[in-house]
Amino acid sequence: AQSVAQPEDQVNVAEGNPLTVKCTYSVSGNPYLFWYVQYPNRGLQFLLKYITGDNLVKGSYGFEAEFNKSQTSFHLKKPSALVSDSALYFCAVRAYTGGFKTIFGAGTRLFVKA
């Protein structure tokens, strides 16, 4: 079955420290992978995507993600967290399920403490 998993409901990190939000996927064929961020009372905003090419993808607000085919992972990273990064983060994969659809993970809440 096509799926995406975010194993952590919540990630806590101190401001200035590096952060990682984990995502693993299970799809047949080549995966198209995405990260979105949701701030309170807002819709989701696209952060970055992996379609093909370099395994390290850079996106908005200093975020990056590394595609690892052997581990079927697409973890979101940032070298130095900001309090303003506190939000809900969704990983997503575009997969074929009787038609191409985007499957979203359950979300990971990131708390960055000052």
Partner 1 sequence: EADIYQTPRYLVIGTGKKITLECSQTMGHDKMYWYQQDPGMELHLIHYSYGVNSTEKGDLSSESTVSRIRTEHFPLTLESARPSHTSQYLCASSDGTSQIYEQYFGPGTRLTVT
Binding site for partner 1 (CB under 8 A): 32, 34, 36, 41-46, 49, 51, 88, 90, 94, 101-102, 104-107, 109
- Closest among 23, 6, 26, 24 to 96, alpha carbons compared: 26
Do residues 106 and 50 make contact, with C-beta atoms less than 8 angstroms apart? no
Give 42 or 69: the residue with its C-beta nearer to partner 1.
42
- Closest among 21, 13, 22, 31 to 103, alpha carbons compared: 31
CB of 101 to partner 1, least distance (A): 7
For residue 16, which amino acid is it? G
Give 49 or 75: the residue with its C-beta nearer to partner 1.
49
CB of 80 to partner 1, least distance (A): 25
Give 46 or 61: the residue with its C-beta nearer to partner 1.
46
CB of 91 to partner 1, least distance (A): 11
CB of 94 to partner 1, least distance (A): 6
d(CA 103, CA 81): 27
d(CA 49, CA 36): 9
